[in-house]
Structure 1
Amino acid sequence: MEPPSGRTDVPGSMQSNDHQSDLNPGTVGSAHRVQCPPLSQVLSELASLPPASTLAATEPLPSDKQKKLFESLQICLKAAENADVSDALKETPDILQKLWKCRSPYLVPAAEAMANGSRAPLWRVSYGKTGVFDFFLQLIASKETIDNRVILHALRLVGNSCADTNENRETVVEHNYTAAIVQHSSNPDLIQVVIPVLYNICIDFGPAQTQLAADKIVYILLKLVKDGAFKDKDALLDYVFELIELVGEQEQGIASSPDGTISLLVELALDEDVASTPARFSGLVSGLATYLNNTRFQEICISSYIVPDILGVLSRSLTFKTESSAEDTQALAQSRLKINQILAEISGSTSFAQYYPLDSPLAQSLKTWLKSTDDQLQICSCVILGNLARSDATCERMVQDLKIHEELISILKSDVRGAVLHSALGFLKNLAIAGNNRLVLGEAGIIPAVSRLWQYESVPQVQFAATSIARQVIVAAVDNISRLLEGLPRDGTDSNDERTYLSLLLALFQKTDSTPIKTEIGRTVASICRTLVPQSREGDPTAVALLDRFFDLHEDIALPVGAMIAQSQWPVVRSEGWFAMALMASNKAGAMAVSRSLQRMEILPLLEKTLGAEASEPTEEIEQVQMKKDRDNISVLVQELLKSDPDTLAETDKSTMQQLMHSHVSRHLQDSKSTVNG
């Protein structure tokens, strides 16, 4: 917590398979404003392909010799079943080269037989060592037109040979064969093999994930899905979405992805036929969240008016059937959290209000979401509208024209979850910074509304935010100070002691262990003193009456101010405490309250230390100025306490202050005006 308050961003809210492969949403059309380059263009721009092929040039061979070559290959494969695999297969690369050299039709069954052999885990390393693996990689990377059946079996062999076999994966990555494999994704006859191959190369192997990311695989896969490449191939989609999750977090891939990647992610997440299961939907949302952590894609999202569609994605997350499994339920919950975090980040951008002003359809829709019965929609509304509340003019319009504060106060009074309360409080805090809004908020009942949350122990962030708003609305606002000092409704007990809303804050001060909450309560008390004490000196009857009530009904009113002085985390807060305590001491009833707090909060040692510090001790000029102010205020405090001589001032404390008066205070008072310096 940083006690000196200002407008802040409103907070949003408080697996893959491990087996190997054998709003009314905005119209989706809005995402089309971002250019999505065609697949052919992206594939043609892939990183440089592997080195030149070492495959032999064409040389005819009689068909009977071709047949004998194939039979020799079969013998080798048969022998490998019962002997040392590498030894049995050592002749196969030469046989394959000869079949290729004559462009033999036997290459198809030969490739199939070799691919079938790659199913055996023990053969995979041998394929790599003997050169079989390299041969088929070169076929895949060849620029020559090759029978689809040969390429299909070559892909099968590569995919199987990479399963749990890092030696072969390293070969693929070293020569960037991933790009060659990806090139075949545009072939509808091969797509059903390309995807599992890429999966087997990537799973649990970071270098391949990095390389594929650089090859723009996320965009390529999304574009394939969008273009219908997986129609009637539903089983492949699970691999596709898992690949997107595996590779999507690679920075290199995000940086190189086309602008249209973001619109594809949003559009597919909204497509009920594509993102038809919680798992697929959650995978797309994870990708969306990753890309929108990048500033470039955030700005694209804002300037291309994609934000309404992201709201649509949040709405879509609520449409899945409630009988989903526990795993799906958890995945959807995480997706909603990620979407709201995305929206919090985006709406916090300085350019957001330029494209989505307060009178935009987006803002109007969000205002209706404040009344939603769904937590996540309410949080979303509070987050985005709260981040639009960046200027006094906007905040005043929200309160005085749109009456948004009334919906927010209704939320505070309702039985919603802590995350919703936290977001609503963050929004209200921004609205309360505009001075002209404070009285309107007070009239709307904000103090009783937040007072019930001062006991919200299960979520300390809510407790703190509710305490902070109380301080915010009473700054220089006598009417709201009066409301804070109003008596609480009687609870039916026989007690004759009158308790106020401020009494509840003081009770929280005594109960909580939270230094930020204690400090915020102290700052509330200090703010009341800053407003009422000067006005009461001028004889203002309202201020005089309120100040009497302030001291008479709250015996321990000085303790929170003492806590401001006792804490060491924020020097500026300590200085604010000295100032407030000096103001208190200038009032007779206040002097009694201050003297009671001196021993309980161990203030005197701090007072002596501050007065006794040499002027040269602080190293920064700003520290020297602040230290001088502190000494001035302490000098006034000591002078006022000795002058008032309250009965509650212990003799030992009085003696100490008299000594300080002679040794330090007189000197400081001669050097400074003897007035409180705030």
Structure 2
Amino acid sequence: MSSSISQLFDNFPDNEVQRTKALGRVADIARNLWKGEPGSSNLDILAQKAGDAARIETNRIPIGESGLLEFFCSVVSTQGVRSSLIIQCLRIIGNSSADTDKNRAKVVASGCLPIIVSLLNNDSVLAYVIPVLFNISVDYEPAQKAIYQAGVNPELVSLISGPRLENAAPLMSYICKLLGFVATQEPEANLVHPGTPFILLSLANNQPSPIDTEDFLGQVSVALTYLSQEQFQQTFLETEGSIDLILQTFSLACEDIDTSQDPDNETQLQQVQTAFTATLADLSAQPLFASSCPLDGPEVQTLQGWISRPHIPLRSAACLTLGNIARSDEKCIYLVQQRAIHKPLIENIADQGNSDAGLLHSILGFLKNLAIPAENKPIVGGAGLLEIDVLPRIWSLDTQTQVQFDAVSLTRLLLVGCPENVHRMCAPLSEDAASSSHIRSKLHLLMDLNERSDQEPTQMEAARAITAICRVLHSRDNSPAPGEEIATDSPSATTAGSLSAFYKTHSTITDAMQRLIQQTKFPALRSEQVFVFALMARTSEGAAAVARAMHQGELADAIVEIVTGSPAPTPSTSPPNGESEQTALSSLSDLRQLANLEAQAPTNATTGAQKSMRDVDRENALVLIAELLQRSPNDLPHDAKVTFKRLLKEGGQRLLLEREDSKGEGESV
């Protein structure tokens, strides 16, 4: 009988239709054997021959169309079948499903996949079950969904995390691929082992030397796929030792895996390193991560050490992770003042060979966090960050617009309220008076960037940084009273010698700042600039600079619109009602009284007792106009001067009364 069964598979017709008919007759014989003598070895022989035939690509569709595949799917689904026959059934199912979606669909429709998944508990057939599940599922989503719903994840994870790991080790590549197939399925209770990513990372991290690259990459890839989903992140972080585990495994992926001889592995390794960086960024954004990593603990020490490693992925991940941990002034102050963490960051930026956009972005982002506390600004700025070949080097990267923006944004943060850093920005590029660089400063470089950039965010940030400099120079502690010289020991004095010298050296500085007033997209930036112009106009030098800027008519029109709430009208050549320019205000004392009012810093408050931004802008604009008319009238263009005087006549006295009423109300409370 066995010889006649073997002959059934000899000399199959070349024609697919005839071959299907021939295999249909084989299927009938198999059914009869199953009914008449299910325990006979003849059925095992027939199944073995069918499994061999299924290895030939041209036989696969006929095996499916003949009914032979569906028959053996029904056999494997039967309880109590002997292991030898199960193995042959699995061979038929697995071989005929290779690259053949029609047969895969028949397998899924037969309902045998839950039974095949349950066979993962049977070590005697394990070496067949796992490859068969792979053949059915690879590149075929319906089968992936079916094996997921059959519980393949908890079965496989239990297999590799328990005493049966030794049996599973030779099949680790397939196991990881299967876990990867189902990693993105919608999580359901009891269908995913909650410890999947931790267990896989543990396997990868604990491999004996030399590390098996394929197994390592497979285990890590799947673990990171699970950790990219928020629902697994919390459970992972709740597992003791999870943070140290992922840091150690990432370090292995960067420093101990050699893929130089295999381009495919090299590509996968790069993908793994990128995924590690993204995963650490996600995990460190969770409150539990930060609370599990004290600033004086080993995790932060490890991350700080990565900043100086030669591997870009480690450096990028360290900056992103530490940036997420350092989300309070207290933590940022500690990292700068106790751990000097800014120094290796600055060394990275100073490295002329470092042009990796991702790394620069992560470093600059971390430094921006560190630069927010006022106590840190002079320390970070004084550590060399504002030197010509450090942060200004990044301003010149016109082809990396996001990195360039980050650098300008960091510059602005360093300058806000920090006279020391303003001095560093305004100091000559060269101390040699004979050098052409002596008459230029880093502020000039920032002004140049503002002029040449075609990126609106970069333009706005550069203008805000320049405005921050002028605000510091004209703040109460750092600028002279009207008509006085700057004190020789003030930051402003060491910056440029005097406001007069500053504005002479930086004669086009108001060009950048005008952008902020002329634009209407960002009202808060417009408010800030009106306020700073009003501060500048408290000195004759600042007033002259702003007045000269009014010769570009758009700025004067913007000021008029801020005061009136309407676009500026076409200017008249003479004051209304026949008044002369000298009598446009009710009296000179009104002008002086208005000019003596303090400009008000803008606020976002729009309700209650506090004035709205619109009201503050209008009042600051009127104070600005009054200062300009008092200190630098001859520098104003004629039309602007006429219009400004009219505005003061109409709005100045009302503002004085409002300020007086507000003062009275404050006293009566």
TM-score, length of structure 1 as denominator length: 0.79
Alignment of 1:422-461 (within 5 A): 422-448=361-387, 449-461=390-402
2:145 match: 210
Q: Secondary structure at the match of 2:327?
A: coil
Of 287, 309, 312 in structure 2, the residue corresponding to residue 350 of structure 1 is 287
2:576 match: none
Instruction: Tell me the alpha carbon deviations over residues 503-558 of structure 1, each in whole angstroms, 9 at most, x when there is no partner.
Output: 22222222322222222222223333434424135577326636615433211222
Contact 2:117/2:151 (<8 A) preserved: no
Shift of 1:182: 1.7
Shift of 1:279: 4.8
1:512 match: 453
1:644 aligns with 2:631: yes
AA aligned opposite 2:204: A
Q: Distance in 1 between matches of 2:559 and 2:87?
A: 84
AA aligned opposite 2:504: D
Alignment of 1:624-639 (within 5 A): 625-639=612-626
Alignment of 1:567-578 (within 5 A): 567-578=519-530
Of 31, 42, 48 in structure 2, the residue corresponding to residue 97 of structure 1 is 31
Of 177, 183, 187 in structure 1, the residue corresponding to residue 122 of structure 2 is 187
Contact 1:161/1:168 (<8 A) preserved: yes
Of 84, 87, 95 in structure 2, the residue corresponding to residue 160 of structure 1 is 95
Q: Distance in 2 between matches of 1:673 and 1:598?
A: 30
Q: Secondary structure at the match of 1:248?
A: coil
2:444 match: 503
1:381 match: 318
Q: Distance in 1 between matches of 2:149 and 2:168?
A: 26
1:333 match: 270
Instruction: Tell me the alpha carbon deviations over residues 8-27 of structure 1, each in whole angstroms, 9 at most, x when there is no partner.
Output: xxxxxxxxxxxxxxxxxxxx
Shift of 1:562: 1.3
- Report the aligned-residue RMSD: 3.6
Q: Distance in 1 between matches of 2:217 and 2:556?
A: 59
Shift of 1:232: 9.0
1:110 aligns with 2:43: no
Aligned CA distance change for structure 1 residues 340 and 460 (closer, same or farther; 3 Å): same
Give the percent of matched residue pairs that are identical in Structure 1 and Structure 2: 30
1:315 aligns with 2:251: yes
Aligned CA distance change for structure 1 residues 432 and 625 (closer, same or farther; 3 Å): same
Contact 1:159/1:198 (<8 A) preserved: yes
Of 193, 201, 205 in structure 2, the residue corresponding to residue 266 of structure 1 is 201
Aligned CA distance change for structure 1 residues 325 and 125 (closer, same or farther; 3 Å): closer
1:246 match: 181
Aligned CA distance change for structure 1 residues 256 and 570 (closer, same or farther; 3 Å): farther
Contact 2:514/2:555 (<8 A) preserved: yes
Shift of 1:261: 0.5
Shift of 1:375: 2.4
Of 561, 574, 586 in structure 1, the residue corresponding to residue 513 of structure 2 is 561
Instruction: Tell me the alpha carbon deviations over residues 256-293 of structure 1, each in whole angstroms, 9 at most, x when there is no partner.
Output: 32122112220232244599455543333332222112
AA aligned opposite 1:355: S
Q: Secondary structure at the match of 1:106?
A: helix
Contact 1:632/1:672 (<8 A) preserved: no
Contact 2:153/2:191 (<8 A) preserved: no
AA aligned opposite 2:371: A
Of 288, 293, 297 in structure 1, the residue corresponding to residue 232 of structure 2 is 297
1:141 aligns with 2:67: no
Moved more, 659-668 or 604-613: 659-668
Aligned CA distance change for structure 1 residues 142 and 232 (closer, same or farther; 3 Å): closer
Shift of 1:231: 6.1
Q: Distance in 2 between matches of 1:255 and 1:551?
A: 71
Aligned CA distance change for structure 1 residues 254 and 311 (closer, same or farther; 3 Å): farther
Aligned CA distance change for structure 1 residues 641 and 471 (closer, same or farther; 3 Å): same
Instruction: Tell me the alpha carbon deviations over residues 208-251 of structure 1, each in whole angstroms, 9 at most, x when there is no partner.
Output: 12222334434544554556868699875444443343332333
Aligned CA distance change for structure 1 residues 98 and 352 (closer, same or farther; 3 Å): same
Q: Secondary structure at the match of 2:52?
A: helix
AA aligned opposite 2:317: C
Moved more, 235-244 or 280-289: 235-244
Contact 2:420/2:491 (<8 A) preserved: no
Instruction: Tell me the alpha carbon deviations over residues 15-67 of structure 1, each in whole angstroms, 9 at most, x when there is no partner.
Output: xxxxxxxxxxxxxxxxxxxxxxxxxxxxxxxxxxxxxxxxxxxxxxxxxxxx4
| Number of aligned residues | 603
Q: Distance in 1 between matches of 2:314 and 2:95?
A: 46
AA aligned opposite 2:250: L
Alignment of 1:605-620 (within 5 A): 605-613=557-565
Instruction: Tell me the alpha carbon deviations over residues 167-193 of structure 1, each in whole angstroms, 9 at most, x when there is no partner.
Output: 332233345422222222333342332
Q: What residue ranges of structure 2 are gaps of 5+ in the alignment?
A: 568-604, 663-669
Aligned CA distance change for structure 1 residues 134 and 544 (closer, same or farther; 3 Å): closer
Shift of 1:91: 4.5
Aligned CA distance change for structure 1 residues 457 and 496 (closer, same or farther; 3 Å): closer
1:150 match: 85
Shift of 1:136: 1.1
Q: Distance in 1 between matches of 2:112 and 2:297?
A: 49
Q: Distance in 1 between matches of 2:157 and 2:341?
A: 40
1:197 aligns with 2:132: yes
Q: Distance in 2 between matches of 1:274 and 1:113?
A: 42
Contact 2:551/2:636 (<8 A) preserved: no
Of 425, 428, 432 in structure 2, the residue corresponding to residue 487 of structure 1 is 428
Aligned CA distance change for structure 1 residues 400 and 106 (closer, same or farther; 3 Å): same
Contact 2:447/2:509 (<8 A) preserved: yes
Aligned CA distance change for structure 1 residues 580 and 155 (closer, same or farther; 3 Å): same
Q: Distance in 2 between matches of 1:647 and 1:288?
A: 72
Contact 1:213/1:254 (<8 A) preserved: no
Q: Secondary structure at the match of 1:435?
A: coil
1:462 aligns with 2:414: no
1:589 match: 541
Aligned CA distance change for structure 1 residues 244 and 529 (closer, same or farther; 3 Å): same
Contact 2:316/2:359 (<8 A) preserved: yes
Aligned CA distance change for structure 1 residues 606 and 403 (closer, same or farther; 3 Å): same
2:347 match: 410
Shift of 1:564: 1.8
AA aligned opposite 2:292: Y
2:580 match: none
Q: Distance in 2 between matches of 1:497 and 1:276?
A: 58
1:288 aligns with 2:223: yes
Q: Distance in 1 between matches of 2:231 and 2:174?
A: 28
Q: Distance in 2 between matches of 1:328 and 1:344?
A: 24
Q: Distance in 2 between matches of 1:496 and 1:171?
A: 78
Contact 2:550/2:637 (<8 A) preserved: no
1:41 match: none
AA aligned opposite 2:630: K
Moved more, 628-637 or 270-279: 270-279
